[in-house]
Structure 1
Amino acid sequence: MTERALVCATDLERSSVVANNTMNRERGLTGVNSYARELGVDPLAWLLERRPDVPSWLDLCSGEGRALREAAPALPADAVLTGVDLVGPLVPLPTPPTMEEITASVSTWTPTRPYDLITCVHGLHYVGDQLGLLTRAASWLTEDGLLLAHFGPDSIRWADGGAAGRAALAALRAAGFAYDSRRHLLTLQGARTVEPPFTYVGADPEAGPNYTGQPAVGSHYSRAVTDRDA
């Protein structure tokens, strides 16, 4: 199988597929084009039920941050809402006191606190090391927090281009993740340390459309060497 030319994180984030994507820029909290619809969970309702006093929500690849802004007025003054996006809002908007907007790469950014809820709505499609981000995010949850992230197994490839999605899902499930194939949604309940299942070798920004119909990134990995392989 012919290997595709892979790019590093810096080049990937400068590519047209990542820099110009609009997948999550205008999505609100509820309604037709919303987090509640895409996730099958209303983040605000979940936070109010599970964390009525001091809820915390981290939204990775948050785009314009509309969902966080819409949730803020209904949450306590001590709530912590954090949005992280490579580009951030294209037009400066007022930020609620409980909300923090961070313009940074989710591939390198690390929080300073745990979160009750972590979401990544169609954001992994534009991340090079998807499995690395998922395993890092698993450690950012509170003890009984919830992680929700859209995931397309077909975007996970071996270094030579072969399909690695099935192996990746098996490794994620073994680590405690659940996967809803109808919603293309990974969930994880409770913080834990997860070892990346494979070694990341680079990204393919020309992988083509994924299940959403939009151009997405291919994430390539090498197989872990086991004692049996040595």
Structure 2
Amino acid sequence: MLSLHELEASDIVANSQMNRERQLSGPNSYALDLRFNPLDAMRSYAEAGKSVRWLDLCCGTGKAIMDAAKIVRQEVLSIEIVGVDLVPMFDPGGTDLPSLTLVAASLHHWEPDDPFDLITCVHGLHYVGDKLGLLQRAARWLKPGGRFVGHLDMNNVQCINRQSIGREVAAVIRQAGGSYSSKSRLLEVAVSPLLCFPFAYLGANDHAGPNYIGQPAVDSVYKRIS
């Protein structure tokens, strides 16, 4: 297993394909992968005069959220968008968009200053070491009524003997009021102190091989705790 430093230096984690070309909508897009358009979900709140915040984890170059930020500027919407990625390969087209903030940081340590209405992670958890720890923290970053939506391949969440703990993880998500689809690998959680997984993170393995989207992924290894 790799330490955090070793994992984040891995070529697998700095995947050159992950969210590098995804747009907001269209054939290769957030709207297609998430099965809803995040900006459309936020627009109704903004049009009602509310200040809305959207956080995109593992945003890659940020093209999708830049698409959204351009629409926010054009329509003069009160929507703040924050994108975070480990590797600062952000497209330079986002530097002049006042509603958009791009952050290069490790998601094992980064914490936001204020809560969000929506948090997305489009295929990003595949490359995170402590996947369950990030989910628990993200559930605390939401406003009341907010939601986290992202992809999680349960085959990459294991015990030390490589046994999958996916069914147990999915059960905890559902018990906390969230949802998980084994077909689409989409999960959704709301702000909840009840989202607490009975597992302790031990480390990660970047030799998991390709997952269901055909990209090399990271196995996260845990032990059960009482």
Fold shared per TM-score above 0.5: yes
Q: Deviations over 1:190-225 (max 9, x none)?
A: x22232331000001101111111110000100113
Could you tell me which residue of structure 1 aligns to residue 63 of structure 2? 66
Could you tell me which residue of structure 2 aligns to residue 81 of structure 1? 81
1:27 matches 2:22: yes
Amino acid at match of 1:196: F
Could you tell me which residue of structure 2 aligns to residue 92 of structure 1? 92
Q: Is the 8 A contact 2:24 2:68 kept in 1?
A: yes
Q: 1:161, CA displacement in angstroms? A: 1.5
Partner Cα separation in structure 1 for residue 172 and residue 16 of structure 2 = 29
Partner Cα separation in structure 1 for residue 91 and residue 61 of structure 2 = 8
Amino acid at match of 1:208: G
For 1:19, what is the secondary structure of its paired residue? coil
Could you tell me which residue of structure 1 aligns to residue 224 of structure 2? 223
Structure 1 stretch displaced more, 101-110 or 191-200: 191-200
Partner Cα separation in structure 2 for residue 198 and residue 41 of structure 1 = 31
Q: 1:112, CA displacement in angstroms? A: 0.5
Q: Is the 8 A contact 1:128 1:217 kept in 2?
A: yes
Q: Deviations over 1:138-191 (max 9, x none)?
A: 0111100121110101111001211211121112222222012222100123x2
Q: 1:91, CA displacement in angstroms? A: 5.0
Amino acid at match of 1:55: V
Q: 1:92, CA displacement in angstroms? A: 3.2
Could you tell me which residue of structure 2 aligns to residue 144 of structure 1? 145
Partner Cα separation in structure 1 for residue 36 and residue 25 of structure 2 = 10
Structure 1 stretch displaced more, 72-81 or 27-36: 72-81
Cα gap change, 1:38 to 1:186, in 2 (>3 Å): same
Structure 1 stretches of 4+ moved >6 Å: none
The within-5 A match list for 1:96-175 is 96-175=97-176
Could you tell me which residue of structure 1 aligns to residue 202 of structure 2? 201
Partner Cα separation in structure 2 for residue 46 and residue 113 of structure 1 = 19
Q: 1:77, CA displacement in angstroms? A: 5.3
Could you tell me which residue of structure 2 aligns to residue 3 of structure 1? none
1:16 matches 2:11: yes
Amino acid at match of 1:63: G
Give the unaligned 5+ runs of structure 2: none
Partner Cα separation in structure 1 for residue 38 and residue 90 of structure 2 = 24
Q: Is the 8 A contact 1:131 1:197 kept in 2?
A: no
Q: Is the 8 A contact 1:27 1:35 kept in 2?
A: yes
Q: Deviations over 1:1-26 (max 9, x none)?
A: xxxxx111110011111123422111
Q: Deviations over 1:70-94 (max 9, x none)?
A: 1113324542110000013355334
Cα gap change, 1:94 to 1:40, in 2 (>3 Å): closer
In percent, how many aligned pairs have the same letter? 44
Q: Is the 8 A contact 1:128 1:203 kept in 2?
A: yes
Partner Cα separation in structure 1 for residue 23 and residue 4 of structure 2 = 28
TM-score (norm 1): 0.90
Amino acid at match of 2:86: L
TM-score (norm 2): 0.92
